[in-house]
Amino acid sequence: MVVFDRKSEPHDPGLIRKLKKTALSIRRDVLTMTTRAGSGHPGGSLSCADLLAALYFHHLRYDPENPGWEDRDRFILSKGHACPALYSALSMAGFFSREALRDLRKCGSILQGHPDMNTTPGIEASTGSLGQGLSIGCGMALAARLDRREYRVYVLMGDGEMNEGQVWEAAMAGAHYEVDNLLAIVDRNMIQLDGPTEKILRLEPLNEKWKAFGWHVMEIDGHDMLQILEALDAAEKIKHKPTVIIAHTVKGKGVSFMENQVKYHGKALTEDELQKALEELDRGGEGERQE
Amino acid sequence: MKDRSKGFNLETRQEALMREAYGRTLAELGEKDSSIVVLDADLSTSTKTSVFAERFPERFFNVGVAEANLMGIAAGLASAGKIPFVSTFSVFGTEKGLSQFKQSIAYPKLNVKIVVTHGGLTVGEDGASHFCLWDIAIMRALPNTTVVVPADAIETEMAIMAVAKHQGPTFVRLTRPKTPLVYEEGYRYSGHQLKFEIGKSVTLEDGGDATIIATGPLVAEALVAASNLKMENLDVGVINMHTVKPLDERTVLKAAVETNALVTAEDHSVIGGLGGAVTEVLAENRPTPLRRIGVRDEYGESGPWRKLYERYGLTSQHIEKAVREVLKMKR
Ligand SMILES: Cc1ncc(C[n+]2csc(CCOP(=O)(O)OP(=O)(O)O)c2C)c(N)n1
């Protein structure tokens, strides 16, 4: 067993630097994969790259050699369209080969356009139709309680996804059943498919909504690695209610011409754009290292 | 080698987006009729209701990623005399809004038009989570509901105009990518001017040996198949069943009597769609040798839609093979 259990490592500058580098690799993978596939959802994949790096390379407990290990933490990508970022993280974590990334969205690939738990090692729930992940997470959290297991359940949702009524049905259930082993994360990048969230269907005050539904609410900068790590730890100390982290992020984060742009929600970069984007990511990466 | 370039050939056929024809037609209708309102669920840039939204922002409602609410709001608008056109992808309109469509719209016979895009395997790379290979089956099973599946962008325009005039709950299913044009400008085929009527199929090719009854993008595939088979001296008819409900039973039975060999073809599961509808009519009235072209009870997977058509048996070659099989059955 190569169980990854790194939660107790101190949040020192070395760790932060390592995780930021990992997030950068995820971003590179996301853009390369979607351009090669000629389709996919880069914008919302980039906005959650730092969250995924923190989860998969520090916080979560899992065993890539034994994806079905019963005590593993469960992570559900409820905003399934961001799976290029998750696939990148899973491949770096060792669930499958790096080569598999080349075949994203192709016929016969183990990497489907949206997550499929029966095709891809490490995927915990089949998603893609928005709004369903938190209910599944709630069920997993209840199962952990029934089985007296220690694992925790993590659900990453989009902010546009909050439009779905089912999210709030699950929110009520989570509070009602007091599943404190369930953590929801909202990728609050302020943009959905057709435009800005507050213009399409107003979400604010989002913090108060979750509170009113009985959840413990935290708000962080979803690109600040230390804040992410601290929030993930802090959530574990909250008892008798579930926790939601509203992670303020930037859609298209890391590539200046993609940031806050609605049009890169569901459009892959051209080859030229990709080269530009990768160069910019590299420069950004070096900047980080000199800090 | 036979020269296949002379018949109906997909390589030389022009292609167009049904979605674009939809958006354009909707905006034109909005110009003429102020009771037309349009609703979408955060996919207006994809479904092209955005064209209407730009022209008539006050009559456009983007309700966010909330398909149940989408149907309910449309029901309310319709009960006050508005004519709502409601759009999203087929998978979300059919599956996430189904209870609301049934309870609030179809049962009370409200005049709501559901026009979904991204039907069938044409969704392509997004994969199984985004396929709804049972939308025709589900919608067809609901009383009071009319189900229309246009064959190309030109017929889409005709269908949307007809649906706007039609009274009652209606479901129209469009595709995602550009698909080959079956018709010529102004709804003509082989030079003949045609008329679009809900519930009345269009016989595109006459044939004495066998008949292909197709719907949606499979009509073009059926025409290629018939044209190839003609070169083998097989006389195969093609019927475009653009309305799956109410089904044009008379034409189905006529084809059964005349050719006694039928193939149905659709980008949909073989269960419950056009194949199901035709089979039901034949079984009760005139059992006839038949083969169904469609997806065989599977969820599908990601890939370019043309590749998926090959993988799941929806191409003209598959139709040709089915015609040969059905001809053997009749002997
Ligand atoms: C039920 C459902 N309706 C519609 C869609 C189409 N869709 C895909 S992504 C998206 C926008 C999602 O916005 P958000 O949750 O904010 O995602 P992010 O910005 O993080 O990518 C929509 C409407 C879907 N996947 N599921």
Whether residue A33 lies inside any domain: the answer is yes
Say whether pLDDT at A287 is over 50: no
What is the rounded CA–CA span in Å between residue B115 and residue B245? 15
H or E, element range at B239: strand B236-240
Torsion sign (Cα): A69, A74, A75, A79 = positive
Whether residue A209 lies inside any domain: the answer is yes
Q: Measured between alpha carbons, how far is residue A101 from residues A50, A60, A113, A124 in Å?
A: 19, 22, 12, 18
Q: A206: distance to nearest CA of chain B, Å? A: 15
pLDDT digits (tens, 9 = 90+) for B169-188: 999 999 999 999 999 999 99
Judging contacts by C-beta atoms under 8 Å, the chain A residues touching residue B64 are 160, 163, 192, 200-201
What is the rounded CA–CA span in Å between residue A125 and residue A118? 9
Model-level pTM?
0.96
Q: Is A100 helix (H, G, I), strand (E, B) or coil?
A: helix
The pLDDT, as a whole number, for residue A2 is 65
The pLDDT, as a whole number, for residue A4 is 79
Q: What is the ipTM of this complex?
A: 0.94
Whether residue A3 lies inside any domain: the answer is no
**B313 in contact with A at a CB cutoff of 8 Å?**
no
Whether residue A145 lies inside any domain: the answer is yes
Helix axes B274-285, B249-259, angle to 10 degrees: 70
Which of B286, B297, B292 has its CA nearest to residue B322?
B292
Whether residue A88 lies inside any domain: the answer is yes
Torsion sign (Cα): B300, B304, B306, B310 = negative
Torsion sign (Cα): B16, B19, B21, B23 = negative
Helix axes B18-32, B153-165, angle to 10 degrees: 30
Q: Is A91 helix (H, G, I), strand (E, B) or coil?
A: helix
Q: Where are the beta strands (DSSP E) in B98-150?
A: 113-117, 146-148
What is the rounded CA–CA span in Å between residue B314 and residue B121? 10
Percent over 70 (pLDDT), chain A: 97
Burial of A152: CB neighbours in 10 Å, binned 0-12, 13-18, 19+: buried
The pLDDT, as a whole number, for residue A290 is 40
Specify the ligand 1 atom closest to the Cα of A47: 20
Residue B302 structure tokens? 């990601």
Pocket around ligand 1: residues whose beta carbon is below 6 Å from it? Answer: A 41, 43-44, 47, 79, 81-82, 128-131, 158-161, 187, 189, 191-193, 251, 265; B 42-43, 65, 92, 96
Whether residue A157 lies inside any domain: the answer is yes
pLDDT digits (tens, 9 = 90+) for A169-215: 999 999 999 999 999 999 999 999 999 999 999 999 999 999 999 99
The pLDDT, as a whole number, for residue B2 is 45
pLDDT digits (tens, 9 = 90+) for A48-99: 999 999 999 999 999 999 999 999 999 999 999 999 999 999 999 999 999 9
**A165 in contact with B at a CB cutoff of 8 Å?**
yes
Domains and CATH numbers, chain B: 15-180 (3.40.50.970), 184-330 (3.40.50.920)
Output the CA B309–ligand 1 centroid distance in Å.
26
CATH number (domain holding residue A181): 3.40.50.970
Number of residues assigned to chain A: 291
The pLDDT, as a whole number, for residue A285 is 56
Q: Which domain holds residue A227?
A: 13-289
Output the CA B65–ligand 1 centroid distance in Å.
7
Which of B299, B69, B193, B329 has its CA nearest to residue A162?
B69
pLDDT digits (tens, 9 = 90+) for A13-38: 999 999 999 999 999 999 999 999 99
Q: What is the pLDDT along chain B (331 residues), one digit of tens a residue?
A: 344 556 888 888 999 999 999 999 999 999 999 999 999 999 999 999 999 999 999 999 999 999 999 999 999 999 999 999 999 999 999 999 999 999 999 999 999 999 999 999 999 999 999 999 999 999 999 999 999 999 999 999 999 999 999 999 999 999 999 999 999 999 999 999 999 999 999 999 999 999 999 999 999 999 999 999 999 999 999 999 999 999 999 999 999 999 999 999 999 999 999 999 999 999 999 999 999 999 999 999 999 999 999 999 999 999 999 999 999 998 7
The arrangement of strands across the sheet holding B290-295 comes to: B202-205, B236-240, B210-214, B262-269, B290-295
The single residue of B67, B155, B205, B266 carrying the catalytic annotation is: B67
Q: Are strands B188-189 and B192-193 parallel, antiparallel or unpaired?
A: antiparallel
Say whether B67 is catalytic: yes
Q: A2: distance to nearest CA of chain B, Å? A: 32
- A126–B129 C-beta distance less than 8 A: yes
Read off the amino acid at residue A241. K
Helices (H), B115-259: 135-141, 153-165, 218-230, 249-259
Whether residue A5 lies inside any domain: the answer is no
| Residues whose CB is less than 8 angstroms from the CB of residue B196 and which lie 6 or more positions away in sequence, other chains included | B155, B158, B159, B161, B162, B187, B202, B242
DSSP-assigned letter for residue B102:
I
pLDDT digits (tens, 9 = 90+) for A92-121: 999 999 999 999 999 999 999 999 999 999
Whether residue A271 lies inside any domain: the answer is yes
Q: Is B94 helix (H, G, I), strand (E, B) or coil?
A: helix
**A100 in contact with B at a CB cutoff of 8 Å?**
no
Which residue among A86, A192, A201, A251 is best mutated to probe the pocket of ligand 1, counting the most ligand atoms within 8 A of its Cβ? A192
H or E, element range at B150: none
Q: Is B116 helix (H, G, I), strand (E, B) or coil?
A: strand
CA atoms within 13 A on the CB side of A25: 20
Q: Is B10 helix (H, G, I), strand (E, B) or coil?
A: coil
**B127 in contact with A at a CB cutoff of 8 Å?**
yes
Residue A239 structure tokens? 């008892």
What is the rounded CA–CA span in Å between residue B218 and residue B317? 12
Of A112, A127, A160, the CB nearest to B65: A160
What is the rounded CA–CA span in Å between residue A183 and residue A157? 11
Specify the ligand 1 atom closest to the Cα of A164: 1
Give the count of domains, chain A. 1
| Residues whose CB is less than 8 angstroms from the CB of residue A58 and which lie 6 or more positions away in sequence, other chains included | A6, A7, A9, A15, A19, A229
Section A249-267 average pLDDT: 98
- A130–B129 C-beta distance less than 8 A: no
What is the rounded CA–CA span in Å between residue B86 and residue B106? 14
What is the rounded CA–CA span in Å between residue B100 and residue B98? 5
